Amino acid sequence: MENSISKQQYKSVFCKRVKVINRAPVYINERTHDILKRAVTNMGVFKLSISALVENMVTEHLQKYESQINEIQQDEQERLYPSQNKV
């Protein structure tokens, strides 16, 4: 994938502090966790947590690719339940 945003844009999108409420566990590889921990520590953003960084990344991804995600889900529903989709 191409790096299409500037450093400042990246910080404004992904390095904003968020209060994570109604938490749910998500598991990632230890290596990925280590990379995120190092990034958060070295970015110099006051009180930025791994949880906030991941929340921002996932939220941005879901917004950016919402239509593709919906298309994939629709295709899978049509594949699994073909008779329910024909009217």
Q: Is residue 5 part of a domain?
A: no
pTM recorded for the entire structure: 0.80
Tell me the residue range of the domain where 50 lies. 15-85
Q: What DSSP string runs through the chain?
A: ----S-HHHHHHHHS------S-------HHHHHHHHHHHHHH--TT--HHHHHHHHHHHHHHHTHHHHHHHHHHHHHHH-GGGG--
Per-residue pLDDT of the chain (87 residues; tens, 9 = 90+): 566 899 999 999 999 988 888 999 999 999 999 999 999 999 888 889 999 999 999 999 999 999 999 999 999 999 999 877 555
Q: Is residue 41 part of a domain?
A: yes
Q: Is residue 10 part of a domain?
A: no
Count how many domains the chain has: 1
Q: Is residue 4 part of a domain?
A: no
Q: Is residue 53 part of a domain?
A: yes
